[in-house]
Every structure is written in C-alpha cells, then in structure tokens.
Amino acid sequence: MSKKTLLWGGGAKAMLALELFDLKDVIIFDPFIKKLKIKTKAEFFNKYSDLNKIIKRCSKFHICIGGMNGKIRTLIAKKLILKKLAPISLIHKSSLIHKSVKIGKMIMIMPNVVINPFVKIGDYSVINTSAVVEHDCVLGKGVDIMGSASIAGFCNLKNYATVGTNATIFPRITLGENCFVGSGSVVNKNVKKNEIVVGNPAKFLKKNISDEKNDITMDNLKRIK
C-alpha cells in the first residue's frame, strides 16, 4: 500500500489544497473540529490518540493553517519532520516565479502570484492569490502574504510576519518578526517586532500577542509525541 499525504488542518486551506493542487491519497487531521465542512473522499481524524497511527501511514505532509499562524505552522512542521515525514510545497501552475527565486520547505503559493528575480522565501511560508513580491526581497520563516498584497523591491519580512489583503509595502521596508499589517494598509516605514499596523499610511494599533502565549496551541503541540 502506498504511503499517504497528511494535511494538518481541516479548514479553508485544506479545501484549497485539495481543489487546486490535485492531491491524492490524503489523510486530514484537525484536533479543533468535529466534522469537515468540505466534501472530500479523504479520511478525517480529530483525536491525538490516532495521530501516531496516521503518521505511520503517511510519508509526507503539508500544514494547512494560514493567517497569523506562521509560528504555529512552523512548530508543527518541525515536529512532523522529526517523525520522518517529508514536507511538501504546493505551488500553483499559474503562478509566475522567476528561476532565480530561492524557495524553502513547505511553501504554499496560490494562483496568479508573481514573484520577481532574486527573492528568497523562507520555510513554511504562504503567498496567497494574486499577491506580488518584487525583486530582491527576503521572506523569513512562516511568513503569510494575503491575497492581492504588493511587496515592493528590497523588502525584508522577518519570521512570522503577516501582510493583509490588498496591503502595499513600500520599497526597502523591514517588517519585524511576528508583526501584522492590516488589510488595505500602506506601509511607508519599518514595522517593529510584534506590532500591528493599519491604515494609509500605516500606523501602530497595538501589540501582537506571540504564538508562544497561545495556551491552546502550545498545549496541543506538546501532545505530538
């Protein structure tokens, strides 16, 4: 029997992974939902007591958790790699990615994304539909760029930074670790670590709570033995 692909997460990202990337022989695991809302022939499990059995049946995985969850995505992925599962990237055939772009592990790149020359994309990052990343940008681990966002040239997005839908980032901007740029915002100056900024021009709104303080997430991560 051939080994299966584990999709961790049973929400919208899992639906998109199944619909857009023609995945076969899939098992979905999500401890936070009782029943899938998507129609699929994939097997579904939601109990940690089943996880080790699931892992033994799989050879590869993708974490289907988006939004402001880059660190959670990264931590789960590292646990599964220790279990000898191979992370896979999902890159849509309609995306336009220059041959010079360096792509890390377990990347999701959605339809009609444009990534121009000399960009580096860190592990476990997500770039959503019709987003544009201009030349010479560096994206850290667990970055999430939402739909139709535009990142100008020479920008540096630190680990776990999130850029909201339709946001615009000016050239040579640094977005600090675990920061969040609100939808439609226009960023013309650097954003510090753990800051949430919104508006045009973007201004500080409040501090972003670190994933490490998310008790539900951390407690469940400890259950991946």
- CA 117, 121, 122 angle in degrees (round to 5)? 160
Q: What's the half-sphere exposure (Cβ side, CA atoms, 13 Å) at 92?
A: 22
Short-list 99, 91, 143, CA closest to 121: 143
Tokens of 34: 């009782």
Out of 62, 92, 98, 135, the active site residue is 135
Q: What's the half-sphere exposure (Cβ side, CA atoms, 13 Å) at 81?
A: 13
Cα-flanking dihedrals φ and ψ of residue 48, to 5°?
A: -65, -25
Question: Three-class SS of residue 137?
Answer: coil
- CA 224, 83, 7 angle in degrees (round to 5)? 75
Tokens 């220790």 identify what position? Answer: 82
Question: Three-class SS of residue 25?
Answer: coil
Asked if 104 and 91 touch (Cβ cutoff 8 Å), the reply is no
CA distance 73 to 214: 13
Annotated active-site residue 135? The verdict is yes
Tell me which residues are annotated as active site: 135
